[in-house]
Amino acid sequence: MPRLLLPLTRAVTYTRWLHLLVGSIVPFVCAMIYPGLSRPSAADWVLIAVLPIPLVLAAAVVPETRRAEGLQARLMLFPGPHARVPGEEDPGVSAAPSASWSDRARTGAWLVLRLEAGLAVALVTGQLMALSLSLAGAAAGEPAVGDAPLRVSGTGWAYALLIPVPLLVLAALGAGAGALMAEAARRLLGPSPREQLVQLEERTERLLERNRIARELHDSLGHALTLAVVQAGAARTAGDPDFTDRALETIEESGRAALEDLERVLMVLRETARPPGARPALGDAGRLLDSARSSGARIDAEVTGPLERVPGPVSREGYRILQEALTNVLRHAGPVPVRVRIAVDEARLRLEVRNPLSAAAALAVTGGGSGLRGIRERAALLGGKARTEPDGGQWLVHVDLPLR
């Protein structure tokens, strides 16, 4: 029994009932004009239910009608802030204007259903409440008044026991009708195939953005930590105060850059109004090369072609690819000679990083990892290709990215 009474404790049960009653306003207003509400016959009630249909179908043609109905359905037919139960993340009801005649047709069907269901619920509500009042009058010894179909003609205290029955029946009918209307709203006001495609594209964009942020944090923080570890180890081994000062300076600079990247990413996640700082691009590659040199690596760098002509997205991803490649060199091979080649022509950006490959380093890097996978993913997202493989006793990272 408590489980059966559970809907009576939910606020959404009563907002659904109210939503149904609001739907009866139009037919009652029309009935006041014709055929009138003074002793209507059964035929009059049929006419009252039919006459407003052309009016609501005409309203369904207006695109904004679908938005208004969707917002009402979301607010009143589904659990939300007004309910004492957890709300659904997505009720499956669109709040966008009609974009096609299919949307208008479904909106028209919804309006007709809401009109007829609202009228029926309003009539049943009035009759059951009148019956409950009639039972109360009979229990008090007052004769029944009016000509409602549901009324009590006798009197007696025993009628007091029956007073709650019509109200419980009304609550059960209201809860059931509200649940059916919520399901109908999902079907008739739910997103169209076009809206579903847009939602899927937006969800895909969010997932891609999360993956991009994860890669950026991995590349930036991983580079800074790897550089700090290598510098600290080299400074301890060297035992030279000047070298130690330079190492600490490099650790400080790389740590500050990593903190800036972290703050920028956190600003994006927080969606603050402040514009995030500019992401580093290939024009800032000198900072990466200087950091690697300060760690003891001998960098032979060659840049050909105009870097300023590289589109922003390609330049930024190229920077991250170079950062990850140098990080892998320091992590797996240590301070070894590194050859870096960046070439830009009219159609493509080519980036190549080579370093000697020892047996231990070969075993480490050929095992894969998120860094190498991130390089290939970045290249693939831009329509390019990336190769990460041993090549003649060296480890090769070769990336080819289109500029258009």
pLDDT digits (tens, 9 = 90+) for 338-390: 999 999 988 899 999 998 876 555 555 555 556 677 788 888 888 889 988 88
What is the helix, strand, coil percentage profile of the chain, to 5?
Answer: 65, 10, 25
pLDDT at residue 54 in the model: 94
Model confidence at 141, pLDDT cuts 50, 70, 90, reads confident
Q: For residue 312, give the amino acid letter.
A: G
**H runs (alpha helix) in 189-294:** 193-238, 241-270, 285-294
The number of residues making up the chain comes to 404
Q: What is the pLDDT of residue 201?
A: 67
Q: Is pLDDT larger for residue 259 or for residue 20?
A: 20
CA distance 222 to 297: 17
Any bridge partners for residue 356, and if so which?
Answer: 394
Least confident of 277-291, 321-335, 356-370, 388-402: 356-370
Q: Enter the tokens of residue 346.
A: 């009219």
pLDDT at residue number 83? 42
pLDDT band at 4 (very low <50, low <70, confident <90, very high): low
CB environment 138-167: b (16+ within 10 A), e (fewer): bbeeeebeeeeeebbeeeeeebeebbeebe
Q: 34: phi > 0 → left, psi -120 to 50 → alpha, else beta; which?
A: beta
Let me know: does 294 contact 287? Beta carbons within 8 Å. Answer: no
Tokens of 357: 């490959």
Spatial distance between the Cα atoms of 175 and 195, rounded to a whole number of angstroms: 30
Write down the pLDDT at residue 274. 41
CA 350 from centre of chain: 36
Q: What are phi and psi of 73, to 5 degrees?
A: -65, -40
Instruction: Place 86 in a pLDDT band, splitting at 50, 70 and 90.
Output: very low
Stated pTM of the model: 0.54
- Give the tokens for residue 160: 């007091």
Query: 395 - beta bridge partners?
Result: 355, 390
Contact 226, 331 (CB under 8 A): yes
d(CA 350, CA 247): 31
Check pLDDT > 60 for residue 148: no
Closest residue by Cα to residue 323 from 217, 235, 403: 217
More confident residue, 240 or 278: 240
**pLDDT given at position 143:** 59
| Per-residue pLDDT, 173 | 92
Q: Which residue has the higher pLDDT, 25 or 200?
A: 25
Please report the pLDDT score of residue 248 as a whole number: 76
